[in-house]
């Protein structure tokens, strides 16, 4: 069903250009509702729907999987259905390894970023389509741009798109947004923004790389299934918990880092951090979680 929706995106993108400002998100909202319904149906009864949704999973895996999951719980990613994995996460969250990152992020925010953001509680409003620049601006982009404006060093050892000081500020902003009970609130309010969304959707559903995989094959159709020792996360809720502390790397990482890493794993060249490809893709992914509660920063293996 979702793949059929994707195939219609080119035609719908053209028609969306004539819509009024309040209707530019009309198709995106249909896509989001379809994805939400699909995801809820998929995890309603994993064992009973084995041959519909989980043809490659074992009975043991499916019996151990949580069922009847409400939409808002998918903010936890794989931990929404992976009971064993959630216990690992919950144990680590007793004493989060990123507490110091949040504290440092707060200090940095108050020192450098109050001029650029109206409040630290704006995590759910990013990414945004910037009409002046004609492109999508993620929260990471916005932090880097603000740092540049103030003459701060942009490098792998200082402010960068992957981790470090940028991820610390994002962690504080995510924490502040979560404490304020903010939700993902992505806007599509112009023809150019709608076109960026449609481009991101096209990227998401298109097979690429030498493995000829699309994002959707792993994170829509493949959500809940295992690849080697890891379970694939559902697209619904994907962006709600970033930045994440990866226990295998022992550091906080941005959503850009994760998406680029996933793209590389499918046999593609990693896209530029501030390019149209990555920005539009994250814009689409973020809209798919619209209305969901923010839960970051969080922990992943």
| Angle subtended at Cα 55 by Cα 50 and Cα 56, rounded to the nearest 5 degrees | 125
Question: Do residues 226 and 57 touch, judged by C-beta distance below 8 A?
Answer: yes
Residue 81's CB is within 10 A of a number of other CB atoms, namely 24
**Residue 248 CA, distance from chain mean position:** 20
Tokens standing for 244? 């994440």
Catalytic (active site) residue 218: no
Residue 244's CB is within 10 A of a number of other CB atoms, namely 24
Sequence-distant contacts of 16-24: CB under 8 A, at least 24 apart: 16/191, 16/194, 16/195, 16/198, 17/191, 17/194, 17/195, 19/191, 19/194, 21/189, 21/190, 22/189, 24/188, 24/189, 24/190, 24/191, 24/193, 24/194
Tokens standing for 23? 């209707």
**Dist. CA 183–CA 296, nearest whole Å:** 11
> Residues 116, 215, 218, 262: which is the catalytic one?
262
Expressed in angstroms, the distance from the first to the final Cα of the chain is 31
- Using alpha carbons, select from 114, 119, 123, 287 the residue that is nearest to residue 199: 287
- Using alpha carbons, select from 107, 253, 136 the residue that is nearest to residue 194: 136
DSSP 8-state assignment for residue 271: P
Neighbouring C-alpha atoms within 13 Å toward the C-beta of 45:
4
**Dist. CA 101–CA 172, nearest whole Å:** 8
Catalytic residues: 262
């Amino acid at each position: 069903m979702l793949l059929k929706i994707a195939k219609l995106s080119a035609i719908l993108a053209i028609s969306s250009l004539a819509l009024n400002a309040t209707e530019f998100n009309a198709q995106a909202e249909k896509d989001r509702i379809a994805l939400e319904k699909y995801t809820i149906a998929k995890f309603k009864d994993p064992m009973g729907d084995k041959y519909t949704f989980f043809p490659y999973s074992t009975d043991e895996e499916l019996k151990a999987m949580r069922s009847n999951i409400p939409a808002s719980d998918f903010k936890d990613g794989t931990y929404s259905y992976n009971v064993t994995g959630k216990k690992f996460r919950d144990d680590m969250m007793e004493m989060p390894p990123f507490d110091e990152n949040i504290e440092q992020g707060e200090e940095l925010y108050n020192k450098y970023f109050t001029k650029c953001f109206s409040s630290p509680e704006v995590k759910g409003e990013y990414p945004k389509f910037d009409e002046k620049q004609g492109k999508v601006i993620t929260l990471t982009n916005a932090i880097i741009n603000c740092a540049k404006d103030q003459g701060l060093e942009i490098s792998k050892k200082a402010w960068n798109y992957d981790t470090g000081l940028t991820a610390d500020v994002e962690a504080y902003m995510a924490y502040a947004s979560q404490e304020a009970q903010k939700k993902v609130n992505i806007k599509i309010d112009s023809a150019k923004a709608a076109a960026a969304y449609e481009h991101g959707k096209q990227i998401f559903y298109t097979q690429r790389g030498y493995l000829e995989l699309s994002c959707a094959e792993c994170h829509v159709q493949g959500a809940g299934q295992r690849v080697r020792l890891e379970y694939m996360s559902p697209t619904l809720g994907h962006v709600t918990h970033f930045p994440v502390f990866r226990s295998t790397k022992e550091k906080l990482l941005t959503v850009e880092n994760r998406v680029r890493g996933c793209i590389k794993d499918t046999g593609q060249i990693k896209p530029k951090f501030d390019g149209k490809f990555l920005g539009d893709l994250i814009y689409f992914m973020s809209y798919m979680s619209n209305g969901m509660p923010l839960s970051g920063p969080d922990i992943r293996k």
